[in-house]
Amino acid sequence: MYLNINRQNLNYIVAMLLSVTIGFCSTDIYFSILFFLLIALLVALKVYLINPFFIIGLIMPIEVIGPLPQAIFKFLKIFLLIILGLLIYLNYYKKMTIDLKQKSNFSPFVFLFILFSIISSLMSPDILLSLSKVFQYLIVFFVYLLMSKTNLEKKEQKKVIDYFITGAVFSCLIGICQYAFNVSWLWPDAVIQSTTGTSRITAFFNNTNGFAGYLSLIFPILIIRVFISSQEYNLKTKFFNIIVLLLMLIAIFLSKSSGALISVFISTIVIILSRTISFRRALIISTPGFILLLILLTNIFNNSIFHIVKSILISQNRLFLWEATIKIIRDHPWFGIGFYNFYNTLNSYGVYSQWGQEWPHPHNVFLDIIVCIGLSGLVVLILIIYKVIKGLLQIDKNKNIFSLGVYSALIGGLFHDLVDSGYFIGTSSVATTLWILLGLIENTERRNGSGV
């Protein structure tokens, strides 16, 4: 995606030279660093105006660096997403390749989710804090809607995906370096001071599950590239894709994130089944087995599977957290407690983490949605899941290959969010990237291209 800006670069050059001069003249090292960062910001801004997805792809897997507060990167991403939406609109509306009247696949559910979120926030203990989260959702969905309505060329689609893969590769390398060298400057302070510390790699994420979750989102797309659409690439590109795939697998294993491993396994199975016996047949065949598994997990027959899963959940403090969340839901079933109120509400019920950490969410997507915006949010979530499954059932495995990769990542992400949250619906780096990819899906389905 490119935006042609016919302006002279003189003002940028002058600003950078001035920054360099002041930086070198400064006797304080911190001021020097500040001015050099200003140079990098100016360069990045120039590149962003020309090719915004390049910067978005690189900055998405960055949530915190060193001692810098996480809020800085959150604010930066929100700002860049707003500019991205404006650039998409200005560039493609003039070219008459954007249709604002065209209905997006998930737009009705997005509207309902935002509506229920606003109502819940107005009923929450901290209205402004909760509405700030709703604003972030609005920005993410705004970009998704524009992406879904913009007719990108197949070449442009591939470039957008390349940028996200590049960011994921960079994140993999940082994570592997953390494991191999364990030098302090590679670790964000927020991670060092957390309960897990540096025992699990995080790259530039504030926790290991976010890092591994991001990689598990990109992983199915690479599976598609390596094993299904490889005929579109030369030998050099094929070899590079295989190396990247192996890097991601190594990084995910080193993260020790059980949720990400489950996500990768499920998404890979979905791709294999869809390419062999079709997802429709696979769904019919696997449904009885899935129902049996649910029965075993409910302990109706007092089986060993239930006790194994229960012991794991207890060791991770998940079961204790879920029980406390259900108590909150019973007291706030219709409108929930709003966003950013879970930790304080949990404490008011006398529930604290044995490790002294804050619990920002219940570590289960269904409980998370219900406790935040009430039972109405659960209805929206179920409708989105239905739409994803319907999309998988309608995929032409010979045409919509990219759609298969993203939808399989969504199914894997749903299983991931059974023991975590922020992958399927959220404003995290993982969820934001996912909704951008969902917008791209609608482009590929509209053009019936083979994907990326």
Residue 15 pLDDT level (bands cut at 50, 70, 90)? low
What predicted TM-score, i.e. pTM, was given to this entire model? 0.82
pLDDT average, residue stretch 182-199: 68
The pLDDT value given to residue 58: 83
User: Which of 59-73, 311-325, 330-344, 388-402: highest mean pLDDT?
Assistant: 330-344
Residue 53 pLDDT level (bands cut at 50, 70, 90)? confident
Q: Please check whether residue 406 is in contact with residue 225, taking contact to mean a CB–CB distance below 8 angstroms.
A: no
Give the N- to C-terminal CA distance of the chain in Å, as an integer: 15
Q: Please check whether residue 136 is in contact with residue 432, taking contact to mean a CB–CB distance below 8 angstroms.
A: no
Burial of 10: CB neighbours in 10 Å, binned 0-12, 13-18, 19+: exposed
Burial of 397: CB neighbours in 10 Å, binned 0-12, 13-18, 19+: middle
For 125-151, give one letter per residue: b (16+ CB within 10 A) or e. Answer: eeeeebbebbebbbbbbbbbbbbbbbb
Q: What pLDDT digit, counting tens, does each position of 58-104 carry?
A: 888 888 877 777 777 788 788 878 878 777 777 666 554 555 566 66
Q: What is the DSSP letter of 229?
A: S
pLDDT average, residue stretch 366-394: 83
Least Cα distance to 1 among 104, 130, 92, 127 occurs for: 92
Q: Please check whether residue 426 is in contact with residue 414, taking contact to mean a CB–CB distance below 8 angstroms.
A: no
The pLDDT value given to residue 451: 45
Higher local confidence (pLDDT), 226 or 397: 226
Residue 192 Cα to chain centre, angstroms:
23
User: Which of 110-124, 138-152, 290-304: highest mean pLDDT?
Assistant: 110-124
Give the sign of the dihedral formed by CA 79, CA 81, CA 85, CA 90: positive
Q: What pLDDT digit, counting tens, does each position of 237-290 carry?
A: 778 888 888 999 999 998 888 888 888 888 888 888 777 776 666 666 666 655
Higher local confidence (pLDDT), 383 or 358: 383
Q: Please check whether residue 426 is in contact with residue 372, taking contact to mean a CB–CB distance below 8 angstroms.
A: no
The pLDDT value given to residue 387: 81
Domain ranges of the chain: 1-50, 68-278+359-447
Report the amino acid identity of residue 293.
Answer: L
The answer on pLDDT for 31 being more than 60 is no
- Please identify which residue in the block is written with the tokens 């008011």: 348
Give the sign of the dihedral formed by CA 228, CA 232, CA 235, CA 240: negative
Residue 6 pLDDT level (bands cut at 50, 70, 90)? very low
Report the amino acid identity of residue 440.
Answer: L
